Structure 1
Amino acid sequence: MAAALFQPLTAEAATKPAKTVKAKKPAARQASAKVKADRTTKVVAKRRVAIVNPEPARMSFGQLYGLHGATDPLDLKSSVALVLDQDTNEVLFSKNSQAVLPIASITKLMTALVVAEANLPADEVLTITQDDVDTEKHSGSRLAVGTQLTRGEMMHLALMSSENRAANALGRHYPGGLQAFVAAMNRKAHQLGMNDTRYVEPTGLSSNNQSSAHDLAELVKEASKHEVIRQLSTSPEHRVEVGSRLLQFRNSNGLVRSGSWDIGLQKTGYISEAGRCLVMQAQVAGRKVIMVLLDSAGKYSRIGDAERIRKWVTTELPGSLAVSTAVKTTP
């Protein structure tokens, strides 16, 4: 094969004059330049159209239901809010708290609760498979197919950094598989009196995972009874060995990393249908306070809302007087 490809030139071939390439005539050069200019103009025009007319952002369910039209004394950006005194169950603040909305990764709090109460071995090694890859929202993950971590590490990443593949793997490795796990999630919700709540999968990527602020407050109360959930959900960061690599994950809740809060339990969530969500149990002004914030508009607005609530509880809360605002909704 090599001899056929690299044969020496024959004498005849060596004596043949080399082919010359004719230079383009001025008119040809001008025509070529015009074609390139036209192409550039079209590309620029398309970019201008994309900038002037960007694709409209998908509206959240709360926006579709008109929940953002409700005003409140704290000027919260979340369309749904509920603040409870955990010890007395006193409602300190309520805004559209009965609205039933997608809850995104707040789902993982129930995922962790079901795993914790099943008393499954924390040191059992679970494997990420293709079944754990997100086909709903096509989100990415640092846990490649084939990654092996213990159940405890999977739960840590699911709670702390909202790792979807880890949460799905927890459900798949439940006795009876994913279907049995989702049934256990809904069964637990029913036991807790979470009558507005429905789960269809363990990550929160599906907008069919829905609940109300009152139901989620009950979930926070129950989950906070488990030390492992409190510790893992409030861990600022965590490193795991994946093969020969050491991966570092951070808490998805900036308030945990700030160090200025005394947070006992927390979980964040986001998909476009749910908006930005946050549930927390924290010590505020000597109280154990449960905060539920759903459908917040803006990347950092749920954090700002939590800060407004803390300031209000600390400096302005008028004794046991509860503040309540609501707007009628038609899902």
Structure 2
Amino acid sequence: MKPGRLFVACCCAASLICVASAAPPERVSVAKKVATPLLAEAARADSPELRSESFLIVDQRSGEALLARNADRVAPVASITKLMTAMVVLDARQPLSEMLTVTEDDRDRLRKSRSRLPIGSRVSREDLLRLALMSSENRAAAALARYFPGGDKAFARAMNDKARKLGMTRSRFVEGTGLSAGNVSTARDLSLMLKAASGYPLIRQFSTDSHHTVALARGAREFRNTNPLVKDPNWEISLSKTGYIEEAGRCLVMQTWMRGRPVLVVLLDSFGSRTRTADARRLQKWLAQRPWDALVMARKGAAG
């Protein structure tokens, strides 16, 4: 893949980014346009060699777009879809303790993907939601959509209604697992979805659990998070979701804290199994090394 043009956005006093420090997630707006370029001094600094085909990095507190490439390219988003699935499920306020049955209708007949959730399993809606977010279990997401009032078609309509309310004008959803290449969006739209999802405490919790054990008919089974960074002590991640189908490539979205500020990270269409996490680490290192403190002080001085 050929790297596209990399846009580096302006840093102001409100958009100072720094290394991870625990802080409570907050609801803040995300700008809908790419911010202006950095000051000339910063523009000369090396940009990170991110390998994802499309990406958008946003300082959530100020809404500044820090880095972008192909942020408005429409493409399949794979299991990143499950963040929208989770919001629609929670918005419906169906009982989380209700026991649901995984059936043949939840089997992946499109891509024949494997599942660690056996057909016939009786699992609470809460655990299905957790497994869909944490382990990207397709049968869990399929069951959640099937048990939605009105079934799968009503669920897809609810997903698209939610997308419109969030301002995701270039997104379309046809089902709740992300297995269909018909679920499409852009990095910019996904930053809006990521920001909205960060306002749901259960989505933050379930998507960042490192592991979870579920009692099944044939004994307890442990499920693990598909994002290894949630276990890395060098990261403070408040929300996470991975995704992969062939048409989408490897994808990763996160709300993570860097130097005390929430940052929205959208990485799409990475070509290798480890490229998306390697891009995240390259981004973290790059942000930590930026001379933004001096730039902010210089701008404050000029403004004063």
- Structure-2-length-normalised TM-score: 0.82
Paired residue for 1:36? none
CA distance in structure 1 between the aligned counterparts of 2:119 and 2:192, rounded to whole angstroms: 35
Alignment of 1:39-78 (within 5 A): 68-70=2-4, 72=6, 73-78=47-52
Conserved 8 A contact 2:54-2:268: yes
CA distance in structure 2 between the aligned counterparts of 1:246 and 1:260, rounded to whole angstroms: 31
Cα offsets for 1:8-61 (capped at 9, x unmatched):
xxxxxxxxxxxxxxxxxxxxxxxxxxxxxxxxxxxxxxxxxxxxxxxxxxxxxx
Please identify the structure whose Cα radius of gyration is greater.
1
> Which amino acid in 1 is paired with 2:215?
E
2:60 is the counterpart of 1:86: yes
> Which amino acid in 1 is paired with 2:4?
A
Match of 1:214 among 163, 188, 191: 188
Paired residue for 2:215? 241
Cα offsets for 1:48-105 (capped at 9, x unmatched):
xxxxxxxxxxxxxxx6xxxx34254311110111000111101111111011111000
1:126 CA drift (Å)? 0.7
CA distance in structure 2 between the aligned counterparts of 1:78 and 1:178, rounded to whole angstroms: 32
> Which amino acid in 2 is paired with 1:266?
S
Paired residue for 2:238? 264
CA distance in structure 2 between the aligned counterparts of 1:286 and 1:305, rounded to whole angstroms: 21
Conserved 8 A contact 2:3-2:51: no
3-state SS of paired residue (2:156): helix
Cα offsets for 1:140-174 (capped at 9, x unmatched):
11111111100000000000000000000000000
Paired residue for 1:20? none
Match of 1:232 among 187, 196, 206: 206
Match of 2:260 among 266, 269, 286: 286
3-state SS of paired residue (1:78): coil
Alignment of 1:1-331 (within 5 A): 68-70=2-4, 72=6, 73-316=47-290, 318=292
> Which amino acid in 1 is paired with 2:110?
E
CA distance in structure 2 between the aligned counterparts of 1:136 and 1:244, rounded to whole angstroms: 27
> Which amino acid in 1 is paired with 2:91?
E
CA distance in structure 1 between the aligned counterparts of 2:190 and 2:92, rounded to whole angstroms: 21
1:260 CA drift (Å)? 2.1
1:259 CA drift (Å)? 2.8
3-state SS of paired residue (1:202): coil
CA distance in structure 2 between the aligned counterparts of 1:99 and 1:317, rounded to whole angstroms: 30
Q: How many residues align?
A: 255
CA distance in structure 1 between the aligned counterparts of 2:204 and 2:252, rounded to whole angstroms: 15
| Structure 1 gap ranges (5+) | 1-62, 322-331
Identity of aligned residues (%): 49
Conserved 8 A contact 1:80-1:293: yes
- Structure-1-length-normalised TM-score: 0.75
Paired residue for 2:21? none
3-state SS of paired residue (1:303): helix
- The structure carrying a bigger helix percent of its residues is 1
1:297 CA drift (Å)? 1.1
> Which amino acid in 2 is paired with 1:129?
T
1:244 CA drift (Å)? 3.3
Cα distance change on mapping 1:116 and 1:317 into 2, 3 Å: farther
Give the alignment's Cα RMSD to 1 decimal.
1.4
1:257 CA drift (Å)? 1.9
CA distance in structure 2 between the aligned counterparts of 1:317 and 1:196, rounded to whole angstroms: 35
3-state SS of paired residue (1:229): helix
CA distance in structure 1 between the aligned counterparts of 2:258 and 2:140, rounded to whole angstroms: 32
Conserved 8 A contact 1:103-1:274: yes
CA distance in structure 2 between the aligned counterparts of 1:288 and 1:181, rounded to whole angstroms: 31
